[in-house]
A and B are shown apart, each in its own frame.
Chain A
Amino acid sequence: MNPRPLRRVLIANRGEIALRIMRACRDEGLETVAVYSDADRYAPFVRVADRAVRIGPAAPVESYLRIAVLLEAARASGADAVHPGYGFLAERAAFAQAVDDAGLIFIGPPASAISAMGDKTSARRLMAAAGVPIVPGSLAALNDPDEAAAVAREIGYPVLVKAAAGGGGKGMRVVAAPRELAAALATASSEATKAFGDGSVYLEKYIERPRHVEIQILADHERTIHIGERECSIQRRHQKLVEEAPSIAVDEALRERMGAAAVAAGVAVGYRGAGTCEFLLASNGDFFFLEMNTRIQVEHPVTEEVYGVDLVREQLRIAGGRAMSVPYGRLVPRGWAIECRITSEDPANGLLPSAGLIRWMRAPAGPGVRWESGVETGSEVTLFYDSMLAKLVVHAPDRRQAIDVMQRALSELTIVGVATNVPFHRALLADPEFLAGTIDIQFLDRRADLLAAADDAATTMRLAVAAALLADDRRLSRRGTVPAAAPERVASSSAWAATARRDALR
């Protein structure tokens, strides 16, 4: 393959990931082009870029999702490559193809790999053919109890009876033992008929309390390697909130088995660049392919911290036709990294997204702390985009110390103007179950208490004292500046006095 050096990269994204990619470009000696919607005119990522092109109004469909406008921005700014980031167009094969057709380099896998992994059922077949374990089961309808019993015996109990036309848990039954199977088939089928007008059911292996563990892969024109796992079991409604590397549930042998499966998945679709295979990990060490994300992941920094690899720079190298800089041989994770996603979700308000102006912000710093933020003092948080404001990433010698460093970093973080989910992170990191690492993807379903902004009597007392001191401070400063006697009150309506009064009240 002929190296085709990159010179100027257009970043077809916004927020923290746009900034992250621009920093990698700088480190690689590449020029950057930002594209921005009207809502992002003054965003940090726009100011960091060498060039910036307006692409439309705030709504993503009118800006960040418009392929033709993005390609025109690339042409007008003289960019020779496009980095899609994550979200928006990152996993649209049509976008990768359009970038390619325009004679530009798409910083990501070939369009064919994106579409192969984009269709979940075809991806499942592809993975099975490549020897990647998928959740065992039968996709054909199985309403005959004898036939179902044979399948269940083969995949092993417990099994899950699922509606073929299903979704949302309707027509779904967990069956722990053979004698329960016939009854479960009947009720699931009748539920499915009522809900979907189709009583067809099928069987799948039921995985109890699985963890979400994913494997990072990297592929250049010579080799495809894995760079260890990330544990992402702390999720709410399929949104990851906290990720760590390595996983407490993965030892070296399992890492190599999962890594080999992920590499096989990548090879099967002709992968290039950075990608991630998501797996369900059962408590007995069995793992099953969920899907492949054909892009850089939000949580990529935890892998970078423990493996000392800059994944975005590697993406840029590989896209430019160079070999990855990762050494040959087995990679060993060093220490422990944790990421907390700081979102503008208000725990006091059912974790609904909050919007507003960030009037003041202090970011955490110090040893082991990495702050990847899309916002700063003066940023406006709108409801047009994802609620993630920033990622707080820490790295320490072991898990326990990483948790302590994260608590320290969270205690230094102050955001004034929008409510954030910081109280949730603090509660989670102090929770005995989380500390023990006994987590799975249903953890937050069971522990809704962690999501509410609880507090204690000591807090109330401290806040009461603070409030009284503030009120007294205001009273005294008012008294000092505002004339109280009658004759002077006339003067207090003058502009000078009004200004003094405003100052006193500030």
Chain B
Amino acid sequence: MKYFVTRGELTVEVELDGDVVLVDGRRLEARLERVPGTPEVRIVIDGVATTLAVDAYQGSDLRLIDRGAVRDLTVEDERTRHIRLLAGPGKVVDGHSVLKAPMPGLVLRILVAAGDPVTAGMPLLALEAMKMENELRATAPGVVGAVRVAAGDAVEKGQVLLELNAG
């Protein structure tokens, strides 16, 4: 499994294969051990352990406490990143844009209704694809226009899911 970890301006690609980790062209052995009853995790890299605390982990946003310092990161798997990059709003026509399905799948939930104001990053719709649930998010603020699908609908790649008008 491949993950993209972003810290500030920098994105690092980390590939996991069992205990083997490929990062930045280096091959390491790494594993994670949770410390029950605490927010702490032990990260063992090539036999050397460090303890970190997980302050918060919601969606892709991860806040770690590392040796007293607060570290904010975002972490996405390859597919989530791919979908996020694909699911940017479609062509803007006459001040409105459309959200298209980035891949074939099943609509699980519609999280907004026509007329709802949305901010950038707000989840709009949950789509199941490749047996995983994916949240499609707004990439810019606006107002939800027509919702073209319903929960339970199977959708094709590129199908318009909902419309977004400029706020």
Task: Show the binding face of A for B, using Cβ within 8 Å.
Answer: 346-348, 359-360, 362, 410-411, 413-417, 419-420, 422-423, 425-426, 453, 455, 459-475, 484, 486, 489
| 25 pairs from A and B in contact (CB 8 Å cutoff) | A359-B55, A410-B67, A415-B65, A417-B55, A422-B68, A423-B67, A425-B68, A426-B67, A426-B68, A455-B69, A461-B12, A461-B26, A462-B66, A464-B5, A465-B14, A465-B28, A465-B45, A467-B14, A467-B62, A468-B5, A469-B32, A471-B75, A471-B76, A475-B1, A484-B128
Contact call A463/B40, Cβ cutoff below 8 A: no
Identify the 8 closest CB pairs spanning chains A and B, nearest first. A422-B68, A468-B14, A469-B32, A464-B12, A468-B3, A464-B5, A467-B75, A423-B69
Nearest CB on A from B37, distance (A): 10
**B5 to A467, Cβ gap below 8 A?**
yes
> Within the assembled complex, what's the spacing in Å between the Cα atoms of A329 and B55?
53
Is the pair B64, A467 in contact by a Cβ cutoff of 8 Å?
yes
Interface residues of A, dominant DSSP? helix
Taken together as a complex, chains A and B put the C-alpha atoms of A463 and B71 apart, in Å, by 8
User: Smallest CB–CB gap between A183 and chain B, Å?
Assistant: 48
Check A469–B31 contact: CB distance below 8 A.
yes
Identify which of B46-54, B88-96, B115-123 touches chain A: B46-54
- Residue on A nearest B60 in the bound complex, by CB: A471
Residue-wise interface mask of B (97-141) relative to A, using a CB-CB cutoff of 8 A (1 in contact, 0 not): 000000000101000000000000000000010011000000000
**Cβ B57 vs Cβ A463 within 8 A:** no
Query: Do A465 and B30 have beta carbons less than 8 Å apart?
Result: yes
- Whether A470 pairs with B57 at a CB distance below 8 angstroms is yes
Partner of A468, one of B16, B38, B67: B16
**CB within 8 Å of A: which residues of B?**
1, 3, 5, 7, 10, 12, 14, 16, 21, 23-24, 26, 28, 30-32, 34, 38-41, 43, 45, 50-55, 57, 62, 64-71, 73, 75-77, 106, 108, 128, 131-132
Q: A416-B53, A464-B12 are in contact. Are A347 and B28 (CB under 8 A)?
A: no
A410 CA / B32 CA spacing, docked (Å): 23
Nearest B residue to A469, CB-CB:
B32
Q: Among A413, A415, A460, A465, point to the contact of B43 (Cβ < 8 A).
A: A465
Contacting pair A348 B70 (CB below 8 A)? yes
A240 CB to closest chain B CB, in angstroms?
A: 19
| Residue pair A472, B3 in contact (C-beta under 8 Å) | yes
Task: Kindly list chain B residues whose C-beta atoms are within 8 Å of the C-beta of A362.
Answer: 38, 40
Which residues of A sit under 8 angstroms from B54, Cβ to Cβ? 470
Residues of chain B with a CB closer than 8 A to A360's CB: 38-39, 53
A453, B5: Cβ atoms under 8 Å? no
- Distance, CA A106 to CA B160, complexed state (A): 77
CA of A118 to CA of B103, assembled, Å? 74
Contact indicator A464/B14 (Cβ below 8 Å) = yes
Q: Write out the residue numbers on chain A whose beta carbons fall within 8 Å of the beta carbon of B75.
A: 467-468, 470-471
Q: Which residue in B7, B28, B45, B69 is a CB contact (below 8 Å) of A422? A: B69
Rounded to whole angstroms, the CA-CA distance of A100 and B125 in the bound complex is 69
Contact B55 A423 (CB under 8 A): no
B55 to chain A: which residues have CB within 8 Å?
Answer: 359, 416-417
In the complex the two chains form, is A346's CB within 8 Å of B70's CB? yes
Are B41 and A466 in contact, CB atoms less than 8 angstroms apart?
A: yes
